[in-house]
Structure 1
């Protein structure tokens, strides 16, 4: 007989991975990876992370299989994130941002096979050289250039000055081989031909640096402990085969050709390696939120208080702590639903770009102004931004509600918080993603606003998913209309595009956030309808929490009347009363490895 815990466990784990594959992924990231020995210096810590990465890569399924199987790759990265956030970051870079471009853009180029094999065998570790330290939005126009050398047939890669240095990169460790995916502007025939990727060995066996490569280690940091460094390329010569040309080429006559369009289109295409990153980041956000919620419950359950209102009262009898625990569990299940949504292949007829309210493909995404990401996949980029914000809020709340032990006795919550903070910017800056989303919404660029409805269904009962969706859709449409009206009015008054948008960035951010809320609530409503019975109340709690956080915007847009917070609080109390007896079951379905929720041991 299937219990509620069994049904929830199946929801958490999904159905796409068989038991054999899941066991292999657990072997790749064993329980010993969930603790870090004390007393390590920063270089020792980095060396440990790379050794774990090597072991994981050799024990996991082959890299090519993982890159072709998003649920499997995300499951591996989820486990790495829970175990050791720096390991997750290194693994993500290695698979998706170093090996991924070779597989995708170097397809059919036999010359790239040695580099691919070195990464797949973990003989070399992958790194990414994309952003540049001296200018914001450097993705759009890297100053690092690659010039074709007719004499050798190869290319010369150069960063013109320190402001164009590639940063951040994980290249500082002096003893390890590194292979980089370098993003550079290809200049040929006196013209910029677009941003392309070049596969470049940055460190050989033993860490030796080739001529022209200069690596400058960054100061140590505790936020997300990586061997950060800036890299400058000073007339680095690479063979023609290092160019991951993706169908482009330079003929024997010296003529350049690119079947995928002009330079702007090439930029979007070269940034097309981002979707695997975003899927992994959403999945990791869900995973560390589950772990954080489990840790908070373990801290809170059975803990008594000495408050004078009711001495010896259990901590979770207090509404603030109870709602924090249950809210964290609800956030974990909500992000798990979002992760399942982004890693599930879309059926025929629902491919990206076919529905104007779904993600666009690289050839037909909305125009972008601040970053290239929305042009690659609008909704997936937006969900990455929303997931990292939600994870950061939940992890931070779990740390605060765990008191001093959450900050000082267990490093895990601080490490999770560092990871969520890092990915507010890494993998595409969240604010820039929101601004480009809002611009596409205002311009109706591959976007159709939700249809207006006469009023909230089900008598406005906040327990109803139909009511959540009505409120979210109404807010999104109203904000979009007001944003579009303000920008259009500014342009009619003679303002240039920068001034018109610069004066409305706060509304733009809220508008795009409203779009993300609507998408997430649609995912939750679908999951609640199709998932196990026990899932409905916990997703409802997250929906109520999300609506409470958006109450100011809902009131400002006239979507709800005054008094909505009282209604939301009452609905949340009812839902928490329903869920409180089942908190342990909700956490048990996460199947967290024992070290995650183990009691603090330093006093033993």
Structure 2
């Protein structure tokens, strides 16, 4: 077996057989990788939804996909590479609309026309969670669901425009939409916590029911979706629309196994892990595609620089390291995605997570939320670098790199805001809330050789431990001086974010070290290159914490040059091992 074949086996993994993979590829065929020119925004949106319906009918049933993370991620990965708006709508439909219906609803045997419409693709799923007028609105939505004793159902209302749900994909006037609405349940004059309600927002022809107001947002090119704000004014829904997750209102009495409104919020946000797994996996997918595009642009290209006219472009270190670094990022994020989608021990998957202050995500699954933040940042940086190093063609000749950049940029806020995830992670670290700092090391192993994974891990772990200790001490000192919690943390947010990022780096490097140890021989050097790039990216913290001495960057650059020298002859095999669909790297169509 060739090195490229071995690497392709690593990228594809063992969770899906060839037949299952072929079916998912048929659900997102090659024709989905191009968009006809001249479409108006509504026609572009309609095309995306038509493709979503076609993909949903061709793919395995939604329930099977939601129970099989590798299969769902493989479908979403191909959608992300083909057309980022399709990925976004597919993710919303499966994980954020159907997911809560199947997880929190009455059960698979109960009659449920809303669930049936979503599963059959007769209606497209959307999410109504965040509200436009306040940050962190998912912690306490002002949209309410009041129990109506007369009908047994609920009345949903947004009190004013500031409580409008935004963003939502509901603007297209002709398409059926069904929403998972997050609202504060009010019963007996008391707020009982945040629950999810399944609410049809548009009928088969796009008609809006009484009490629903949809306000289309201006068109955007960042991630082309039919964005809109939604206001609800006394919208009546039946009792079965309440995705109650074991809670009940019986004989006028409210009961909830969650216990408290805070615990209910965490349970209602428990639909997030499938989203994070998919976002991590899609980040890896578009990174792989971008790396393959950059290599296709660079390979065989000559330059007219006066130092060496007609020298191959990839002989220049800056381009060579950009190409190989992008390939390395693709493999590294693939390893992270495999880790994120792998079955987890019951003890590791069980909650509750640490207490949170800024967002509920860390309470749901701290490490998975943190990996989502790390993966989207890495993907956005790599895609942007690929676009820049592709010159003018990367910006103007093909939309694909711009679309990937829009997707990875959007998901630094979507699916849980990255900064808020970092802050809550740092707070858990400082408080030792379900967190254990890495053990201090006696010194760099293996003579400090940066080629050694043991050295990467020593540097990452020691930096994380020192930063955590400094953060905990700084916050404790502020509190001890009489500052309130807001002031104490607000003065240390920069250190908090960098401390949580150090934790993410350590987790990623541990994943890479394990993959290098168990993967094919060709994988080790390419993961080493990514590790060296991450250490360079974190050099300021390594030096600031005294983990690395002055001159470390010189050693790191030398190690990277040696690694790139070894990888450069294998660049074509590394690209082939990524398994990027042929339409992605095809020559620019208008030239031929």
Give the shorter-chain TM-score range: over 0.9
Please give the per-residue CA displacement for 1:379-417, whole angstroms capped at 9, x wherever unaligned. Answer: 000000000000000000000000000000000000000
1:545 counterpart residue number: 533
Q: In structure 2, how many angstroms separate the alpha carbons of the residues matched to 1:430 and 1:493?
A: 30
Using the alignment, how far apart are the partners of 1:162 and 1:258 within structure 2?
Answer: 30
Q: Secondary structure at the match of 1:532?
A: coil
Contact 1:112 1:241 in 2 (8 A): no
Give the 5 Å matches for 1:167-566: 167-252=166-251, 254-346=252-344, 350-353=345-348, 361-362=350-351, 364-566=352-554
Paired with 2:577 and 2:319, the residues of 1 have a C-alpha distance of: 21
SS of residue paired to 2:198: strand
CA distance in 1, matches of 2:466, 2:126: 43
Asked if 1 retains the 8 angstrom alpha-carbon contact of 2:292 and 2:585, the reply is yes
2-structure distance, mates of 1:37, 1:47: 12
Q: Where do 5+ consecutive residues of structure 1 fail to align?
A: 354-359
Query: Is 2:423–2:500's contact at 8 Å kept on the other side of the alignment?
Result: yes
- Alignment partners' CA distance in 1, 2:111 and 2:537: 49
Cα deviation, 1:412-466, whole Å, max 9, x if unaligned, reads 0000000001000000000000000000000000000000011010000000000
Map of 2:561 onto structure 1 = 573
The 3-state SS of whatever aligns with 1:206 is coil
How far off is 1:194 after superposition?
0.4
For the residue of structure 2 that corresponds to 1:196, the secondary structure is strand
Deviation of the 1:261 alpha carbon: 1.2
Distance, in Å, in 2 between the alignment partners of 1:192 and 1:123 is: 34
Q: Secondary structure at the match of 1:370?
A: coil
1:112, CA displacement in angstroms?
A: 5.7
**Residue 50 of structure 2: aligned partner:** 51
Is the 2:280–2:371 contact (alpha carbons within 8 Å) kept by the matching residues of 1?
yes
Secondary structure of the structure 1 residue equivalent to 2:310: coil
The whole-number CA distance in structure 2 between the counterparts of 1:352 and 1:43 is: 47
Choose which of 555, 575, 591 in structure 2 pairs with 1:587: 575
Aligned residues: 592
Partner of 1:15: 14
Question: Does the 8 A contact of 1:146 with 1:158 survive in 2?
Answer: yes
Q: State the distance in 1 between where 2:147 and 2:438 align.
A: 49
Q: How far did 1:595 drift?
A: 1.2
Deviations along 1:41-74, one digit per CA (max 9) or x if unpaired, are: 0001000000000000000011110000000000
CA deviations 1:101-160 (Å, max 9, x no partner) are 000001427556221111111000000000000000001000000000101111000000
Once residues 108 and 56 of structure 2 are traced to their aligned partners in structure 1, the CA distance between those partners, rounded to angstroms, is 24
CA positional deviation for 1:259:
1.2
Deviation string for 1:291-311 (max 9, x for gaps)?
A: 000000000000000000000
1:109–1:241 Cα contact (<8 Å) kept: no
SS in 1 for 2:311: coil
Residues 139 and 325 (structure 1), Cα distance of their counterparts in 2 relative to 1, 3 Å cut: same
Please report the TM-score for the alignment, with normalisation by the length of structure 2.
0.99
Deviation at 1:352, TM superposition (A): 4.5
CA distance in 2, matches of 1:304, 1:75: 36
Cα distance in 2 between the residues matched to 1:596 and 1:542: 23
Deviations 1:204-246 (A, max 9, x none): 1100100000000000000000000000000000011100011
Q: For 1:184-219, what per-residue CA distance to the aligned partner results, in whole angstroms no more than 9, with x for missing partners?
A: 000111111000000000001100100000000000
After superposition, the C-alpha distances for 1:316-374 in whole angstroms (9 at most, x for unaligned) are: 0000000000000000000000000011112xxx3344xxxxxx634x21000000000
Q: Secondary structure at the match of 2:471?
A: helix
Paired residue secondary structure (1:220): coil
Question: Equivalents in 2 of 1:146, 1:500: separation in Å?
Answer: 36
Equivalent position of 1:64 in the other structure: 63
Aligned to 1:148: 147
Aligned to 1:596: 584
SS of the residue corresponding to residue 205 of structure 2 reads: helix
How far apart, CA to CA, are the structure 1 residues paired with 2:407 and 2:490? 30
- Residue 356 of structure 1 is matched in structure 2 by none
Counterparts of 2:442 and 2:277, CA distance in 1: 36
User: Retained in 2: the 8 A contact 1:106–1:112?
Assistant: no
Gaps of 5+ in 2: none
TM-score, length-normalised on structure 1? 0.97
> Counterparts of 1:120 and 1:21 in 2: how far apart (Å)?
19
Q: Distance in 2 between matches of 1:107 and 1:544?
A: 50
Q: What is the aligned partner in structure 2 of residue 73 from structure 1?
A: 72
Secondary structure, counterpart of 2:589 in structure 1:
coil
What is the aligned partner in structure 1 of residue 95 from structure 2? 96
For residue 31 of structure 1, report the CA deviation from its aligned partner: 0.2
8 Å contact from structure 1 (residues 102, 112) kept in 2 = no
